[in-house]
A and B are shown apart, each in its own frame.
Chain A
Amino acid sequence: MKILRKLFDTVRPHFEKDGRLHGLYFLFEGVESFTFTTGKVTPGAPHVRDHLDIKRLMSMVIIALIPAILVGIYNTGLQGLLADGLAVTFWGAVFRGLRVVLPIIIVSYAVGGFWEVLFAVIRKHEINEGFLVTGMLFPLVLPPNTPLWQVALGISFGVVIGKEVFGGTGMNIFNPTLVGRAFLFFSYPSGFSGSAPYMAARSLDAVTSATPLAVAAATPAGESVTASLLNFPLNYDLNTFFLGLHPGCIGETSILAILLGALFLLLTRTANWRSMAGTVIGAFITVSLFNLIAGPSSNPLMHLPFHYHILMGGFMFGTVFMVTDPVSAAMTRTGMWFYGLLIGVMAILIRVVNPAYPEGMMLAILFGNLFAPLFDYYVVKANMKRRLNRAQQ
């Protein structure tokens, strides 16, 4: 440790004012503050500060993601083995999963990190640890067969257009991860349709292993969605969904893993429960309404019960890790409820009513991001009005 400390102290002058590498000061600061705490004291009142900083806050999200990452790696390998018709062993699946997922994560961090550092150095501000989360979330919302160049393109779009053009972390309107994903989704739709043969790019024998949502969306009118899920070769029942051993985006499949993460986020109070609860309630209301009005000849998805909706696709992952992004969410308590409700309603609407997209979560959250400031606006306006009325009494 002392050697490391000495090293930092030796090179520090080069990065400080008048140093040759002063332009890169914030890169140095980023590396140094990652290694050692700042050692700064408060400049004045308040004389004490909480121990929590953004680094730790963001690490909490990463920790919460660990179960989803681990299951995601295993599941990716497992589905690959199944698609290729190979014998399934635990370690076989893990290694295969690592071979697919690790490169995606590395590319996401490397390319996204490059933009992050570049903007920090040019704009002369500290490197923001928020990127640690974006860089990890992004691979988890991609289908495992996403080519690496698309990963690089998507994260670049997400970081630059989704965040930096607005002025950087804290100023962005949309969730950068989802901006990047939406970009890929619309530019290269074949990989995201959910019904593409799983791992087809790497497998000669294109076994039809469609995602549950794709199967559900393809159910003919008059038939039951749950039955067609069960009849599908992969036996899509509730247990499969809960454990997450079925095709889907890397991190979104296992509801168990996501719930573990959610529990951690809520226990550490890293994420706000209001927007999460709002989303689930919004979805529940919408599903119940559909169930209520559905007739025998109507869209079979309208009959699909609520628990299927939250167990399938990216609903839970989005609710736990995307809806709760504090920057793009509503800020006021009341606003958070409305924000969550809107996303829940929209996600189900898109799934059930829109025939083009089997999954609605991504678009629903982006839609919610767009409306979050509006909810806050009305909450704050109401507050101003209360104050004004009081004055006139």
Chain B
Amino acid sequence: MTDFKITRGFDIPINGEAHRELEVLPAANTVAILPADFHNIKPKLLVQENDTVSAGTPLFFDKQEDRFKFCSPISGIVKNIHYGERRKIEKILIERTDNVKNKTYKTWTLKELENADPDEIMVHLLNTGLWPLLRERPFYRIARPDKKPKSIFISLTDTAPLAADPLFLIQGKEELFKAGLSLLKKFTDGKIHICGKGESDLEQSLHGVEKHVFTGPHPSGNPGIHIHHIDPINRGDFVWVVRPDDLVMILSFLTTGQYPETRRIALAGVRLSNPRYVELTRGAALSFITDTLPTDNEFRIIGGNILTGTQKSKNDFTGYYDNLITILPENRERIFLGWIAPGLKNFSFSKTFLSALFPKKKYEFDSGQYGGHRAFIQTGLFEQVVPMDIYPDYLIRSILAEDIPEMEALGLYEVDVEDLALCSYIDPSKNDVNAIIRHGLDLLEREG
């Protein structure tokens, strides 16, 4: 067990965290699958409108890797296929019908799993659309089948603002999680690294894996930080990253033969009447939250956290990977001479507002940009929130210059957007570092 004390970084003091209580919501009757949830795939349809599908039936596959299949989480009929510009498939709507019964898939007992053939499990997961839960770094893409990662990372802590607690997401299913760890060992010749805060009973009780303790502010819970400190990625290397709740979902499927229809999700945001965890049908419509929001304000619905999540419209659906929905008030208010206000109520990473006198206070954040875009000025600032041996200013410059060898040399393989998202947050020049890193990663994946 190694101890890593992360000092650089920053916890955004936002309030509205989900209470640790679980509400099981009624099953949704319409769900959607959104191809855009999956990193860099080219979807090709396998179904037409009005086809009947049962839970786990493939709806489309990826033209570049035809073993990647994407399936319906519920049984019913394909109600609608939405196309966007240039006939891009935007979403596939499935409506639950009573006459289509759920299939029962092959089951393994925990004992059988220990001796199971990893290739058989792989094919099974690929065909039922659960394989995409296993992801690969760099690039956070779907794990390539047949390619053994040099190690596998699982984070038991999520330090992102208002994040769902991974330990709560798998509460009551710890045995499945442990069985999942043994299963993952079959997929790598390297080690399984479990990174957490080191406090939970679950962590204490784990054996046969490498345990690491990461403490400190965000992004100390990000897999990218763990990988960097434990088993860094060089050119040509890749590791897997698996979230605990995803692993449990896979194991629950393998051991029961029942297609996992629901996912545990945290609902966060201070304006929610009751921020909490819910058990929700995968791909369910977001209307169950949006209908309960106060009407005095405009709200932004974010699939994921406020640093990296995707903005959703009112009529949208939860995404394949979403285990957190954040509700954030929009703020378009224009304040007279706001830039020089004393700022007791305005939180800032810097100490340039009076709010700095109350370091423990938490705030209701909103979507305001608080300033116009300017040239990069306050250089050296980003290093304070990037706990890696990486120079963010220079990495950003190399990406702006589209200099691929330089990006590689400066460590772009080791980061993902989420690891540098705080740079965007703190930048007084309001540059979009997220978009710059995304651009660099896309370039590198395509041409590197």
Contact = CB atoms under 8 A, between A and B. Distances in A.
B428 A126 contact: no
A47 B306 contact: yes
Given A49-B369, A52-B350, A52-B352, A39 B333 contact: yes
Nearest to B423: A46
Interface stretch (B49-57, B280-288, B336-344): B336-344
Interface residues of A, number: 63
20 contacts: A35-B337, A36-B334, A40-B332, A42-B367, A46-B307, A47-B302, A50-B370, A50-B428, A51-B353, A52-B352, A53-B371, A53-B374, A53-B430, A56-B352, A169-B374, A270-B352, A331-B380, A331-B393, A383-B410, A386-B389
A387 B409 contact: yes
Contact of A332 (B365, B380, B409): B380
Nearest to A266: B351
Contacts of B104: none
Interface of B: 12, 14, 161, 232, 234-235, 300, 302, 304, 306-311, 326, 328, 330-340, 343, 346-353, 356, 365-380, 383, 389-391, 393-394, 409-411, 417, 421, 424-430, 432, 434-435
A187 interface: no
Given A379-B391, A391-B235, A267 B351 contact: yes
Q: Dominant SS at the A interface?
A: loop
A292 interface: no
Nearest to B311: A44
A182 to B, nearest CB: 22
Contacts of A169: 374-375, 377
B377 A268 contact: no
Given A42-B368, A45-B424, A47-B367, 14 more contacts: A4-B336, A33-B372, A41-B367, A48-B161, A48-B425, A50-B348, A50-B426, A51-B346, A53-B430, A170-B377, A270-B352, A272-B380, A331-B379, A388-B409
A388 B350 CA distance: 35
Nearest to A171: B375
Contact of A168 (B309, B353, B375): B375
Interface of A: 1, 4-5, 29, 33-57, 59-60, 125-126, 128-130, 168-171, 267-270, 272, 326-327, 329-333, 336, 376, 379-380, 383-384, 386-388, 390-391
A171 B235 CA distance: 31
Q: Which of A35, A53, A129, A272 has the most CB of B within 10 A?
A: A53
Nearest to B393: A331
Given A268-B351, A331-B393, A390-B232, A52 B334 contact: no
Nearest to A379: B391
Contacts of B326: 47
Contacts of B372: 29, 33, 38, 40, 53, 126
A126 B234 contact: no
B377 A54 contact: yes
Given A36-B334, A39-B332, A47-B328, A53 B428 contact: yes
B367 A45 contact: no
A386 B414 CA distance: 14
A60 B352 CA distance: 7
- 4 closest Cβ contacts across the A-B interface? A53-B371, A170-B375, A37-B338, A391-B234
Nearest to A4: B336
Q: Say what secondary structure dominates the interface of chain B.
A: loop
Given A47-B302, A333-B383, A52 B348 contact: yes
A60 B354 CA distance: 13
A327 B365 contact: no
B369 A126 contact: no
Contacts of A33: 372
A116 to B, nearest CB: 13
B328 A130 contact: no
A270 B333 contact: no
B371 A48 contact: no
B334 A38 contact: yes
A37 B14 CA distance: 22
Contacts, number: 222
Most central of A40, A44, A267 by chain B CB within 10 Å: A40
Contacts of A59: 339-340
Contacts of A390: 232, 234
Contacts of A330: 380
A200 B164 CA distance: 72
Given A42-B369, A383-B389, A36 B338 contact: yes
B309 A47 contact: yes
B349 A50 contact: yes
Nearest to A169: B375
A144 to B, nearest CB: 29
Contacts of A376: 394
Given A46-B308, A50-B349, A40 B369 contact: yes
A56 B351 CA distance: 11
Contacts of B390: 383
A28 to B, nearest CB: 12
A340 to B, nearest CB: 13
Contact of A41 (B307, B309, B368): B368
A34 B391 CA distance: 33
Contact of A46 (B331, B366, B371, B425): B425
Nearest to B330: A41
Nearest to A270: B352
Contact of B336 (A35, A51, A380): A35
A170 B309 contact: no
Contacts of B302: 45, 47
B369 to A, nearest CB: 4
Contacts of B14: 48
B223 to A, nearest CB: 18
B142 to A, nearest CB: 21
A59 B341 CA distance: 11
A390 B231 CA distance: 10
Contacts of A267: 351
Given A41-B367, A47-B309, A327 B351 contact: no
A325 to B, nearest CB: 9
Nearest to B410: A384
Contacts of A52: 348-350, 352-353, 370-371, 426, 428
A130 B332 CA distance: 26
A384 B335 contact: no
Nearest to A41: B367
A376 B330 CA distance: 40
Contact of A48 (B311, B328, B336): B328
Contacts of A57: 350, 352, 377-378, 428
